[in-house]
Amino acid sequence: MEKMFECADCKSIFADSEIKRIRHSDGDSWDECPYCGCDELNEVAQCYLCGEWHDVDELHNEVCDDCIDDVADKIYEVIEYAECFCTSEQVRIAPLYLKAFTASQINDIVANAFTQLPEEAQKKACRELIDDDPYCFTEWMKGDTESWNG
């Protein structure tokens, strides 16, 4: 796939093959926007979910921060994501509880306790989980594209 660029001046989006390449006899050379001649070009890519163009350094696994933020604000969506995998960190659970409850029941009890936290604490925990591994989170988002685009 061909690299895409955005002109810092006129904001036009164009392919690498469209760039005006200026070469001088003294060896100097630079690239210019094919529309306005500006020489400040930024490599961009489209967000996989919303289709907006962003600087490639601003995307996480082809997903923009705005799309991540939209989902991060939906606490129950992040809870669903969190339940899709187990953390590698071991949680200490008293042996009595392990005898009285199954792992699924313990998860339900903890999930219920989480919903009792103030909404700001829930959002903060959700955001931290996403920030720990935005690649994994965006992979999950991309797996259910229709939910985030609709």
pLDDT at residue 35 in the model: 96
| Residue bearing tokens 């936290």 | 117
Residue carrying structure tokens 């060896």: 27
Please tell me the distance from the alpha carbon of residue 49 to that of residue 59, in angstroms, as a whole number.
11
Residue 150: the pLDDT is 45
What pLDDT was estimated at residue 43? 96
More confident residue, 88 or 50: 50
- Give the CA distances from residue 28 to residues 40, 54, 103, in Å, rounded to whole numbers and listed in that order: 16, 29, 67
Q: What pLDDT is attached to residue 54?
A: 95
Domain boundaries, the chain: 1-46, 65-144
Nearest of 149, 133, 148, 147 to residue 61 by alpha carbon: 133
Residue 43's beta-bridge partner residues? 5
